[in-house]
Structure 1
């Protein structure tokens, strides 16, 4: 538990620091290109832990104690110190540059977040991403999925006309269709190759299905996972010594039901050296086998082990999505575009009540995702960073005065009317924006705590 918590916190700090650095670097570099003088580039808030002054403008670069944000301080910003501008710097202050320069600088932060996501996806596609095909697992009787005729083993080829090569694409497409239409058109391929189409209708339950973790449960089916049917039992191993045979289908361990081989591996791994009773099917007959779970040492940790395997059944459902450097450019651009569009649509639908606000995550939930993705490997962590970077870019473009999008609105109005908004109007906007952010943060923390308690 302590190690897991430490991993979550460390991964969260790394993720936030990287994404904030990318965002603020966008403001910084475009500001320099536009001839603005930069006083400070800070990653984090509060007391500086590390500081360096460099460059002809004597810019202060620092890493601060609270790694939950960052900022670039330009000469002459309205929220700056208000100190007079030295004669030699006349024309280089933020508010002295043309309006289009200022808007470019404000746009650069979110755009660099999208650029980071694009690069992360490019790296993933070049390295190769192990991908599970979107195949249907167990289907619950009386569910929406059963009514639509979904069967275990069906491969979801298309959702609403969009080709689906992996579960991420399938889930995004299904949520889009459910929220927009209350129904999903699916193209399914049966194990024998027969292709059919069906309509999965959810009626008035669309909003409820958008709650975290509710989609599969609400639709009434689970993603396919390899069953615990043994294809090999190694001689001398714990499974062999306990009487397991090739062809056995393990259904339970000490009364705990198994839905897949992954369930069996998880339970066995947690119980090294323990005596257990396995429920299984052999030649159509349900029997029980009593055995002692073996153990194996790996990276200083002891895990349970039966020395059994399920053969290559997984190969039919997993594939490696890997492209050359040039083809990866188009693939990563498409993935960034689709993820950005999905984020924008979900935010809009959340605002009108079509999507549950329980999807708003706070730092606790984000840290848990950061830790689990980091533990899963570099590819998983890169994918997590790309998704969060896109969310950060979209959120910062919202027309809320304390965000980049709100400042863009201010400067656009200035460009249209020929003069800045009044100080009173700007102050009122800042107060309303701060109130909106505090409300959003309250929802996020409430959702985090509710998830922990549940």
Structure 2
């Protein structure tokens, strides 16, 4: 029997997770834009009809909107999807025009756009660094101490006491590194080099796929070769080392995302592993039910997800804008306003279609529909 989480916690967890992350993401855009003298007309948490708001002395309307699925900051001069100069923009008085997004240099616009995803990365790094300071880090040598008789490693010839030196050409120093190079790659070829009695031995075999379920009934397809290490120790971590470790952990998470997306594109993972807002609400509720440390760690993972997704070179996302700025820097002239507008409209259509697909995917995974 799996643990069930009440529906009200789905809503609470989703709002506690997404609300602050989106607000801080947009605040990153806002603060860097303000640093370069760009006026923000609107700062909205959520989309759609305004529920409550206030206008500050700079003329920015800070508001909470009806649909809590995101947010936005609207800078002065954002008169078309591509934020390109237009006749309307040229007609503005010079003082107003100098406060608009279009008036800024290419590098300034790029920094304003990149500030949102960078803020999400910084949030995750701060959370992970705090966890590293509080809990320390585990040091587990990559030595085989438990070997499943029916596991792939035992069948390939590994023995208890073997020290794993490299995994698919990557040198490792801890058991966590071994796990990170095996678990995300079920069904793929694996090469191990181990040290045994002073000799280096090479092994090659397929990583078996194992379907695991957590206490809430969620299924995970992972790679598992049947080895384990039981001797490890917790090492205290200073602030500097904690930050360095958090940056590395963030990079590892991004690599896992790239791997997962590529596996879905190439058919090695099912598309039903893609999740949308309903799954995010479900997972946030489950982590919240486990306690605040688990929930805050989950928020860090989602923050990395938001940063990564926003940096994808898809028009309408931050990464799409940055891709156009990069092309402009190389070509020394921007793409035409018409081509950019069409690209961004296409990007919006793609994002909406993807959201529709993952939402249908989420609904189909609910127990009421047999999920």
- TM range, normalised to the smaller chain? 0.7 to 0.9
Structure 1 residue 334: Cα displacement: 1.5
Q: How many angstroms apart in 2 are the aligned matches of 1:159 and 1:97? A: 48
Q: Which has the larger radius of gyration?
A: 1
Alignment partner, residue 64 of structure 2: 63
1:100-125: CA deviation from partner (whole Å, max 9, x where unpaired): 11111111111111111111111111
CA offsets 1:401-449 (integer angstroms, 9 cap, x no match) = 1101111222333444455433431232123212322343244234423
Matches within 5 A, 1:15-164: 15-55=17-57, 57-79=58-80, 85-128=92-135, 139=148, 141=150, 144-148=152-156, 159-160=167-168, 161-164=171-174
Q: Note the residue ranges of structure 1 that are not aligned, 5 or more in a row.
A: 225-315
- Of residues 417, 426, 438, the one that matches 2:340 is 426
Number of positions where the alignment pairs a residue of Structure 1 with one of Structure 2 = 351
1:11 equivalenced with 2:33 (yes/no): no
Q: Which runs of no fewer than 5 residues in structure 2 stay unpaired? A: 213-217
CA contact (8 A) 1:114 1:393 kept: yes
**Offset of 1:70 from its aligned partner?**
0.6
User: What corresponds to 1:400 in structure 2?
Assistant: 314
CA distance in 1: counterparts of 2:95 and 2:299, whole angstroms: 41
Aligned to 1:239: none
Distance 1:198 1:367, change over 3 A: farther
Could you report, residue by residue, the CA deviation over 1:81-100 in whole angstroms, capped at 9, with x for unpaired residues? Answer: 96763443231211111111
1:285-337 residue CA offsets vs partner (Å, 9 max, x unmatched)? xxxxxxxxxxxxxxxxxxxxxxxxxxxxxxx5675464122221221122122
RMSD in angstroms over aligned alpha carbons? 3.9
Q: How far apart are residue 345 of structure 1 and its match?
A: 3.8
Corresponding residue of 1:381: 295
Q: Kindly report which structure 2 residues correspond to 1:269-418, keeping only aligned pairs within 5 A, or say none.
A: 320=234, 322-418=236-332
Gap change, CA 1:212 and 1:420, over 3 Å in 2: farther
Q: Which residue in the other structure is 1:201 paired with? A: 205
Query: Higher mean Cα deviation, 405-414 or 95-104?
Result: 405-414
TM-score, length of structure 2 as denominator length: 0.78
Structure 1 residues 208 and 2, CA gap change in structure 2 (3 angstroms): closer
Confirm or deny: 8 A CA contact 1:187 1:198 kept in the other structure.
yes
Cα distance change of structure 1 residues 381 and 420 upon mapping to structure 2, 3 Å threshold: same
Alpha-carbon separation, structure 1, partners of 2:254 and 2:54: 36
Map 1:173-192 onto structure 2 (within 5 A). 173-175=181-183, 182-185=189-192
- Secondary structure class of the residue paired with 2:220: coil
Taking structure 1 as the reference length, the TM-score comes to: 0.65
CA gap of 1:154–1:378, structure 2 versus 1, over 3 A, is farther
CA distance in 2, matches of 1:438, 1:207: 33
Q: Is contact 1:207–1:354 with CA below 8 Å preserved after alignment? A: no
Structure-1 residue corresponding to 2:215:
none
**1:438 maps to which residue?**
352
SS in 1 for 2:72: strand
Q: Which has the higher contact order (CA 8 A, sep 6+)?
A: 2
What is the rounded CA distance, in whole Å, between the counterparts of 1:199 and 1:78 in structure 2? 60
Distance in 2 (CA, whole Å) between partners of 1:108 and 1:93 is 17
Question: Contact 1:162–1:173 (CA<8 Å) still a contact in 2?
Answer: no
How has the CA–CA distance of structure 1 residues 136 and 4 changed in structure 2, closer, same or farther, with 3 Å as cutoff?
farther
- Give the CA deviation at 1:41: 1.3
Any conservation in 2 of the 1:103–1:408 contact (CA below 8 Å)?
yes
Secondary structure, counterpart of 2:6 in structure 1: helix
- Distance in 1 between residues matched to 2:136 and 2:291, nearest whole Å: 11
Contact kept? 1:130, 1:318, Cα under 8 Å: no
User: How much does 1:343 deviate?
Assistant: 2.1
Residues in 1 aligned to 2:271 and 2:26: alpha-carbon distance in whole angstroms: 28
DSSP-derived class of the 1:214 partner: strand
- Contact 2:193/2:201 (CA < 8 Å) preserved in 1? yes
Q: What CA distance in whole angstroms lies between the structure 1 residues aligned with 2:353 and 2:210?
A: 21
SS in 1 for 2:258: helix
